[in-house]
Structure 1
C-alpha cells in the first residue's frame, strides 16, 4: 500500500509540473510505459497490475479516466487480453505509437 501511495504522490507531483509536458519527455515515458504494459498484458504477466497503478497515477486528472477504468476492470478480472483494446485506444488518444521500439 505504501508503494501504491508513493506512485500516486509521484503522479500528483508530475501533474503539478506543466513545463515538463512541453519538453516531450513525459510522452516518451508514457510510450515506454504503455508498450511495457502491452507486453505484460500479452504475456499474462501480473506485473501489469503494478504498471497500471503507476500509469494511472501519472495520468490522474488527464481526462482519460474512462479508458483507464476499462483497462483496470479487465486487469482486476485477470482478463489481461481484454485490456489490450482500451490500452490501444489510450495510446491513440495520447498520440503514442505502440509499434515503436523503446
Structure 2
C-alpha cells in the first residue's frame, strides 16, 4: 500500500504532487531520481523488488531509494521511517548501507 501511495502521489501522469513538490520534498528532481533509480537497479540486485518469505512483494525499488535519499537529505533517524514507509530500523539501515556502497 505504501508503494501504491508513493507512485500515485509522485510518479503517475496525474499525480497529486507536482515536479516542484517532488524536488522540495526529496531534494532532487524527479527525472534525476528516476535515472538514479534505474542505475542503482542495474548495478545492485538488492534494489529490485523481491517476494518475502510469505510470498508477498517486498519493498519496491522506489521505496528503497526514497528512504536512502531522505535519510541523507534530512538526516532522518531510521526509526522515523517506520511511520511513513512501514520499514523497520534495521531494514532502513540495510537500505542505506546498500545504497551508499552501490553509489560508491
User: Which structure is higher in helix share?
Assistant: 1
Larger RCO (CA under 8 A, 6+ residues apart):
1
TM-score, normalised with respect to structure 2? 0.33
TM-score, normalised with respect to structure 1? 0.33
